[in-house]
Amino acid sequence: MRYVPENPLIVQSDHTLMLETMGPHFRAARDALVRFAELVKSPDYVHTYRVTPLSLWNAASAGMTVDEVLDLLEKWAKYDVPPNVPVSIRQTMGRWGRLKLLADPRGLRLEADEAVLMTEVCSLKPLQTLLGKRVDETSVLIDPANRGELKQVLAHAGHPVEDLAGYRDGAALKVEMLPETKGGAPWGLREYQRDAVDAFFGDSVAQGGNGVVVLPCGAGKTMIGIAAMARLGMKTLVLCTNVTALRQWKAEVLERTSLTEDDLSEYSGELKDIRSVTFSTYQMLTFRKSKNGEFIHFGLFDRENWGLVIYDEVHLLPAPIFRAVAHLQARRRLGLTATLVREDGKETDVFALIGPKRFDVPWKDLEHQGWIAAAICTEIRVSFGDEDRLRYAVADDREKFRIASTNARKLPVIEELLARHDTDRILILGMYVDQLDWLSKKLGFPLIEGKTPQRRRDELYQRFRTGEDRVLVVSKVGNFSVDLPDANVAIQVSGTWGSRQEEAQRLGRILRPKGGENRASFYSIVTRDTVEQTFGEKRQLFLTEQGYAYRIETR
């Protein structure tokens, strides 16, 4: 029996991977696993990963081979790899590319690499209304209108489809990337940004054009979207999380390309203009007058001859948008995100409808290269007062979480951190608006929350950027796509249950590169020995997978 004591990995027959954290090879093995496995939990001494079909298909679509995966498992395994694991990985990962969707004069054609697989596909009940005429033993015709739903159903059935059917070109757009911004600052794509655009288009601009680029906040995903738009040269729709992000996108396109105000438009609650490059929000497209009413702005998808649709923060894609995306498969689709984690489990739908993961870079790699700030993560655990402890003891589960999250004893810790970072730019982030309003009044700093008018938000963000305000208190509206490059400290006082994506996004608010030491500090304050501490450990999973360690302090 094999035994390599210095190796940190234990591979189990149920596809669970146990990674010991204290040995000399932990970091190298962790960086290998993140390419094809998903972190499940990360206590101090042993991290648990799981190899899933989706993690393997994403690895395969990004160019990783079965042999590379198996070689890495063998390289870092302490004991023999159970014999069923390589067989299962080879079978599961080998499914990528066995089914291909191709263009055909009669519509589209789904083609399998062998007759038995096509027979199995044709027998799946959910596909009966989506399949057309059987052409031969290995292929069947598909109505182009069913392209998205077909891929979605097959992915959930364990049969990923490699979509090679091509795209309908949109209206031409003449756009060039400028060597310097219109403000006179020289700039250019970083090497990894060029690699991301290359990966998105693959072997050719004509055939490539679907998938997701995964990079940390502050790494310049917007630049990748702009470069993809410029390389393609077609009419583009950009969907953002909010109006603040929309206007940041618009400003970046104006600064870095040959396009002018006449080429760009905003489709929002305030303006509904459509031009060569149009920016809108998910909220706008999912607006309806009643709970069961029609989504009255969905027509934006089909109204114009788009060549490219960019989905910013694609991990937040609202469920209704998936229905629209399923009918947009003939258009090129680029998803941008810091994490593919979705708490609703719809990662497979992102894979099927937007496209597989085409490119990612470990966060720590970009940190070491100086492209994002080096972050120190600290969890500070505070106790309850006697009265709150009694309230907590008799509360139901949901109320327990709220009581722990809004613990008043967090205030002295915040004040201590503000004093410690008395020259820094600080964001105080939370979930509960009443808690944030109380902190805003106690501490004397402005608050931005959902009801804050857009004009006031823009004003406060600008005051923060110029240094007129050094501290902002921000609700969940600040989690995404807010460009505050000088923010270098984040204090998280409450969060959305165990949301890994929110933890990653909040850290991302302070990762934009800084001058000098290029460092940032992320604090999460939780009430110890409560459900908030338990959920806090789950929130940290994605960042732990990226190589971040949380120091624990107790008050």
- Does domain 191-361 fall under CATH 3.40.50.2000? My reply is no
In 461-511, DSSP assigns E strands to 471-474, 489-492
Which run of H or of E encompasses 129? none
CA distance 454 to 247: 11
Regarding the domain delimited by 367-554, which CATH topology (the fold level of the hierarchy) does it fall under? Rossmann fold (3.40.50)
Evaluate if residue 42 carries a pLDDT over 80.
no
Calpha distance 382→404 (Å, rounded): 10
pLDDT band at 544 (very low <50, low <70, confident <90, very high): confident
3-state secondary structure of 71: helix
Locate 477 and state its tokens.
């509206």
- DSSP H helical segments within 343-432, as ranges? 347-353, 363-368, 386-394, 397-405, 410-420
Query: pLDDT at position 148, please?
Result: 93
How many Cβ atoms are within 10 Å of 126's Cβ, its own excluded?
13
Q: Is the pLDDT of residue 471 over 90?
A: yes
Q: Residue 303's pLDDT is what?
A: 83
What per-residue confidence (pLDDT) applies to 285? Answer: 86
pLDDT exceeds cutoff 80 at 207: no
Query: Buried b / exposed e across 436-473, counting CB within 10 Å, b at 16+?
Result: bebbbeeeebbbbbeebeeeebeebbeebeeeebbbbb
CATH of the structural domain 99-163, one choice from 3.40.630, 3.40.30, 3.30.70, 1.20.120 = 3.30.70
Is the pLDDT confidence value at 431 over 90?
yes
Q: Judging by beta carbons within 10 Å of its beta carbon (0-12, 13-18, 19+), is residue 144 exposed, middle or buried?
A: middle
Residue 377 above 80 pLDDT? yes
- Give residue-wise pLDDT tens across range 297-344: 888 888 889 999 999 989 888 888 888 888 889 999 999 998 887 878
Cα(152)–Cα(327) distance, rounded to whole angstroms? 12
The answer to whether 359 touches 196, Cβ cutoff 8 Å, is: yes
Residue 240's pLDDT is: 92
Q: So where are the chain's domains? A: 9-93, 99-163, 191-361, 367-554
Statement: residue 205 has pLDDT above 80: no
Q: Helix crossing, 66-76 with 53-61: angle to 10°? A: 120
| Average pLDDT of span 148-163 | 94
- The pTM (predicted TM-score) of the whole model is 0.85
Mean pLDDT of 138-152: 94
Question: What percentage of the chain reaches a pLDDT higher than 70?
Answer: 99
- Residue 112: its H or E element: strand 107-112
> What is the reported pLDDT for 481?
61
Rounded Cα gap, residues 137 and 117, in angstroms: 10
Q: Would you call 272 exposed, middle or buried from its count of C-beta atoms within 10 A (0-12, 13-18, 19+)?
A: middle
Domains 99-163 and 367-554 share a fold: no
Average pLDDT for residues 491-496, to the nearest whole number? 93
pLDDT score of 198:
93
Determine what percent of the chain is predicted with pLDDT higher than 90: 64
Look at the block and give the residue holding tokens 């044709």: 122
Return the pLDDT at 405. Answer: 95
- pLDDT, position 75: 96
For residue 546, pLDDT beyond 80: no
The lowest-confidence range among 176-180, 404-408, 437-441, 474-478 is: 474-478
Q: How confident is the model at residue 260 (pLDDT cuts 50, 70, 90)?
A: very high
Task: Tell me the pLDDT of the chain averaged across its residues.
Answer: 90
Per-residue pLDDT for 182 more than 90?
no
Query: Average pLDDT for residues 26-30, to the nearest whole number?
Result: 90
Output the 3-class SS for 422-460: CCCCEEEECCCHHHHHHHHHHHCCCEECCCCCHHHHHHH
Distance of alpha carbon 29 from alpha carbon 359, whole angstroms: 20
Q: What is the pLDDT of residue 501?
A: 82
Confidence of residue 227 (pLDDT cuts 50, 70, 90): very high
Span 524-533, mean pLDDT? Answer: 95
Beta-bridge mates of residue 357: 212
